[in-house]
Structure 1
Amino acid sequence: MNEAKRLPTLLAHLSRLNGLYEVVVSDGASEDGTLDVAMGSEFDGRLTLVEGPRGRARQLNAGAAQSGGELLLFLHADTLPPLDTAYWVQRLLRQPGVVAGAFRTWHVHDATLERLARSHLGRTDTPEPGGPWWLHLADIRSRYTTLPYGDQGLFITRERFERAGGFPEQLLMEDLEFSLRLRNLGQIRTAPSCIVVSGRRFEAHPLLDTCLVNTFPALYRLGVPASRLANWYRNTR
């Protein structure tokens, strides 16, 4: 929600990707005219707008319900998927035993995102070198994990998405919980291409958000409820 500033950059970038049947913008009660911006964007393709209640899981599920394709790719507004996205989606989901896939992440300074959208993003290399070391801790994890986070551009068939029950509508860790459910159904593969992610939250709170991103998933898997983690998160902001 409230992504009017970044959405045009993503939609313009998606126009350059081959193999996209439809783009669904699912909004959760934004107050900055996000849907109006989407309607006036430069996206050259089929665009569906969905407005629903707040909550990331609810927005993702609502978008999936309104989409018309059989292959689903979930993107955050502050990301740029690689130009060979369609290739990896089809290649990995065809492999026996694979139920879903995702991309490696590469975090960049927020101001860099729009410039990268106008350039040729690397397919298997990192598209933007440099940056503080703490900006790339999540990138290291994304190369080896079998439990992708939401900003990794998760892709899956509609049938498997529905079989897994969609994203659980909880306050936090909905992406990790969904990945845990998917892993019970089969393998989750990570493509070698990078999805570029804005490092805005790490830039705003470098120490705090770096610690939270690297500790909350472990606490959740140890049994700490998502509701309690959400309360801790609110209290530390």
Structure 2
Amino acid sequence: YMYKLSIIIPVLDESLFFTKQQLYVEALLQQGHEIIVVDGGSIDNSVLAAEKLGCKCINTKASRGYQLHVGANASTYETLVFLHADTLLPLTATNSINTALDNLNASWGRFNVTFTNKKLIFRVIAWFMNKRSCITGIVTGDQTLFIKRKTYFDCGGFTDIPIMEDIEFSKRLKKHSPPICLSENVITSSRKWEQQGIIKTIILMWRLRLSYFFGASTEKLARQYYS
């Protein structure tokens, strides 16, 4: 039996995504899945572009954790997939998610991540990210978390925080059960890494994680991350 997916995409000025990925979005919708675009107040035409393709659109404040949770509340189907706008799900993902969640003990999981830039350094970074998340059970947003709807709400869903919402939620979820680590790849944009420089980005990520671990406010961390 093929479960239909509710794919939730938080956006803020991502109209380019919907222009670039038009065929991809249409293919997912043709498979019968729903795409819920939760817009945090874009000033480009993200919402227009998404609505034109047949996505369900909701406007909220800009806070990723909040946007994701609003999307989950608006979803119809029993399987939720949280997708970043700069990440591509393979079209075979629906089968992989269904197969993984058919196993009774499993209720959530993630994909391996690979970058749009195929240089060796990016392959190494992706390898470490994937390895780390399997070992720690912590899933980051770019790895595309999928989860049974019931588990999502039983575990309290995403918290209304602007950053680290993925780590915070993973910590609660892994007390429930470890994530399924699919070896199939989602492709995420290496744009941020290329613009900021690889070493700088790695240092920034680690600094933010450590600060978060030691109790820094997520508002402060979001300012550092998006500045």
**Equivalence for 1:4:** 15
1:85 equivalent in alignment to 2:126? no
Change (3 A) 1:201 1:136: farther
**Equivalence for 2:121:** 133
Amino acid at match of 2:119: G
Structure 2 gap segments, 5+ residues each: 1-11
Match of 2:206 among 214, 223, 227: 214
**Equivalence for 2:82:** 74
Deviation at 1:155, TM superposition (A): 0.3
Deviation at 1:182, TM superposition (A): 0.4
Change (3 A) 1:83 1:225: same
**Equivalence for 1:229:** 221
Change (3 A) 1:19 1:92: farther
Deviation at 1:50, TM superposition (A): 1.0
Alpha carbons 1:135, 1:202 under 8 Å: kept: no
More divergent stretch after superposition (18-27 vs 99-108): 18-27
Change (3 A) 1:218 1:88: farther
Inter-partner Cα distance in structure 2 for 1:188 and 1:133: 26
1:187 equivalent in alignment to 2:187? no
Change (3 A) 1:183 1:169: same
Inter-partner Cα distance in structure 1 for 2:142 and 2:162: 16
Match of 1:203 among 186, 194, 201: 194
Deviation at 1:13, TM superposition (A): 1.1
Taking only the aligned residue pairs, the percentage that are identical comes to 27
Structure 1 gap segments, 5+ residues each: 110-129
SS of equivalent residue, structure 2 residue 13: coil
**Equivalence for 1:152:** 143
SS of equivalent residue, structure 1 residue 54: coil
Q: What TM-score, normalized to structure 2?
A: 0.83
More divergent stretch after superposition (61-70 vs 93-102): 93-102
**Equivalence for 1:59:** 67
Alpha carbons 2:82, 2:144 under 8 Å: kept: yes
Q: After superposition, give the CA deviation of every residue in 1:131-165 in whole Å (9 maximum; x if it has no partner).
A: 25157514421244121101111000111111111
More divergent stretch after superposition (95-104 vs 15-24): 15-24
**Equivalence for 1:34:** 46
Alpha carbons 1:25, 1:38 under 8 Å: kept: yes
Matches within 5 A, 1:114-133: 130-131=118-119, 133=121
Inter-partner Cα distance in structure 2 for 1:14 and 1:140: 29
Deviation at 1:179, TM superposition (A): 0.6
Inter-partner Cα distance in structure 2 for 1:89 and 1:164: 19
Matches within 5 A, 1:154-173: 154-173=145-164
Q: What TM-score, normalized to structure 1?
A: 0.80
> Where is the helix percentage greater, Structure 1 or Structure 2?
2
SS of equivalent residue, structure 2 residue 179: strand
**Equivalence for 2:36:** 24
RMSD: 2.2
Q: After superposition, give the CA deviation of every residue in 1:154-180 in whole Å (9 maximum; x if it has no partner).
A: 000111111111111123211100011
Deviation at 1:227, TM superposition (A): 3.9
Inter-partner Cα distance in structure 2 for 1:52 and 1:174: 16
Q: After superposition, give the CA deviation of every residue in 1:194-234 in whole Å (9 maximum; x if it has no partner).
A: 00000111111013222122343344334444344335446
More divergent stretch after superposition (130-139 vs 165-174): 130-139
